[in-house]
């Protein structure tokens, strides 16, 4: 049975995440939580197991949000639109960023390029993993590899 305590848990976890991450919508998070509760109800789990599953689900959602935030922070360095200047950038910095971006794009595989494009469009790791049919951890490793390649290119140019 879905109790008020379980519903409150979903609601409070949704509140916390929407306050931390501007791009997460409370209604979407609550819907995901309620869908999880319905799935758990079919499995006849105890309330404790349901609470653990809710915590796990929202921990994964937060992890995805942290990665998305990290990628958004570096999106300009991926150069999805390298010709757009960022506030406070000089012409030399724009040119340097564009050169690093072109080098990075040459080094990326077609799968990595697709993942970068999807991330810049707002897809999360879970959505990408579902679309590509691979695990979320694999997508996480790919994204970290891309970020590391970017960092290496920046170090080479210094």
- Write out the residue range of the structural domain in which residue 64 sits: 4-157
Spatial separation of the C-alpha atoms in residues 116 and 100, rounded to whole Å: 15
Question: Residue 33: how many CB atoms within 10 A of its CB?
Answer: 21
Whole-number Cα distances in Å, 150 to 53, 68, 101, 123, 158: 36, 16, 8, 20, 13
**pLDDT recorded at residue 41:** 87
Spatial separation of the C-alpha atoms in residues 54 and 96, rounded to whole Å: 45
Least confident residue range of 18-22, 55-59, 75-79: 75-79
pLDDT level of residue 83 (50, 70, 90 thresholds): very low
Spatial separation of the C-alpha atoms in residues 26 and 39, rounded to whole Å: 20
Q: Read off the pLDDT of each residue in 89-100 and give the average, rounded to a whole number.
A: 76
Q: Read off the pLDDT of each residue in 88-105 and give the average, rounded to a whole number.
A: 76
**Domain count of the chain?**
1
Whole-number Cα distances in Å, 156 to 18, 38, 98: 38, 52, 15
Q: pTM of the full predicted structure? A: 0.50
Residue with tokens 């080094």: 107
Spatial separation of the C-alpha atoms in residues 131 and 110, rounded to whole Å: 15
pLDDT tens digits, 111-152: 888 888 888 888 888 888 888 888 888 988 998 888 888 888
Tokens of 25: 């919508």
pLDDT tens digits, 4-53: 888 888 888 888 888 888 778 888 888 888 888 888 888 888 888 888 98
Does residue 75 carry a pLDDT above 80? no
Spatial separation of the C-alpha atoms in residues 10 and 106, rounded to whole Å: 43
Does residue 82 carry a pLDDT above 50? no
**pLDDT recorded at residue 73:** 67
**pLDDT recorded at residue 89:** 64
Contacts of 19 (CB under 8 A, 6+ apart): none
């Amino acid at each position: 049975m879905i109790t008020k305590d379980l519903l409150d848990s979903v609601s409070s976890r949704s509140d916390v995440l929407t306050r931390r991450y501007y791009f997460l919508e409370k209604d979407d998070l609550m819907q995901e939580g309620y869908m999880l509760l319905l799935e758990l109800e079919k499995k006849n789990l105890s309330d404790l197991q349901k609470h653990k599953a809710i915590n796990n689900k929202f921990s994964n959602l937060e992890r995805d949000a942290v990665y998305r935030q990290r990628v958004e922070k570096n999106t300009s360095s991926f150069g999805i639109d390298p010709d757009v200047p960022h506030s406070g950038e000089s012409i030399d910095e724009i040119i340097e960023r564009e050169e690093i971006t072109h080098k990075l794009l040459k080094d990326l595989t077609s799968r990595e390029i697709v993942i970068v494009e999807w991330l810049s469009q707002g897809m999360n790791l879970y959505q990408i993993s579902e679309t590509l049919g691979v695990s979320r951890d694999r997508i996480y490793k790919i994204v970290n590899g891309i970020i590391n390649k970017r960092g290496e290119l920046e170090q080479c140019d210094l």
